[in-house]
Amino acid sequence: MLQLYGGPDGELAASMRYLAQRYSMPYREVAGLLTDIGTEELAHMEMICAIVHQLTRNLTPEEIMREGFADYYVDHTVALWPQAASGTPFSATVFQSKGDPITDLHENLAAEQKARTTYDNILRLIKDPDIVDPIRFLREREIVHYQRFGEGLRIVQEKLDSKNFYMFNPEFDPMIQPRNKNNNC
């Protein structure tokens, strides 16, 4: 469950990714989409934290040892601290915000699929309905987010196509010089 909090495909990374990307998104409706989903990911993070807390708050020392939770417990007791299931601490290096709308939206599409896979893996391991039900809900939201980012990508591509913009158009990126129409270089 900690993987969903502080892992590379967890809710903390997703919320930070989307809320950071919204500032460089040139299209308001897609920036709004990033804000909406980033905010929802914060709520998902809260749900994951509540589940982790419920699973750990009454552990006995014997259960902590038997379940492989001892190393975490020594460092954090049962406090919530973002890390991957492997024990790797959360790092902002696990997500990207490039400032290019197409690149960022593809990053987000991939992130939602990786999160869905993580939820699928957890559902294969967990059978407790008090955990399974919210995990299924969160998995379904990953699918919805994927669909919404697909819609956002279509909006961006349509806007770029309608203006004859391409990835290296100087109107889109003033740092890039216009290409000579007679030269394909």
Q: How many residues does the chain have?
A: 185
Measure CA 112 to chain center: 6
Answer yes or no: are the C-beta atoms of 71 and 87 closer than 8 Å: yes
Is 76 labelled a binding residue? no
The tokens of 82 are what?
Answer: 């973002």
Residue 11 is assigned to a ligand binding site: yes
Q: Is 41 annotated as a binding residue?
A: yes
Q: Was 36 annotated as part of a binding site?
A: yes
Burial class of residue 127 (count of CB atoms within 10 Å of its CB; 0-12, 13-18, 19+): exposed
The secondary structure element, H or E, covering residue 88 is none
Annotated binding residues for Ca(2+) = 36
Annotated binding residues for Mn(2+) = 11, 41, 44, 112, 145
Annotated binding residues = 11, 36, 41, 44, 112, 145
